[in-house]
Amino acid sequence: MPNIKSAKKRVEVSRANNERNKAARSALKTAIKKANTAIDAKADNAEAAVKDAVVSIDKAAGKGLLHKNNAARKKSALTKKLNKA
């Protein structure tokens, strides 16, 4: 543990940010998995699940969790899969 007050604060802030990012990343992965399973099952709600996943991907890219090109690739893959099904 650091001795300097500002260093202690940075440790706490980075820990809080890490927890927030971990939760957001997990929620993003869950949304993508739900969309993929809905597409695979040819469910009626597949289009809505993909739409929710795309929104989640956009939010993650906006927050810096994903690079914009990574987000575009994920959205493109989901849309292609939906259109093919």
Write down the pLDDT at residue 85.
84
DSSP E strand boundaries for the chain: none
Write down the pLDDT at residue 1.
78
Angle at 69 between CA 63 and CA 59, to 5 degrees: 25
pTM: 0.83
- Per residue of the chain (85 residues), give pLDDT as tens: 789 999 999 999 999 999 999 999 999 999 999 999 999 998 889 999 999 999 999 999 999 999 999 999 999 999 999 999 8
* Domains along the sequence of the chain with CATH: 5-84 (1.20.58.110)
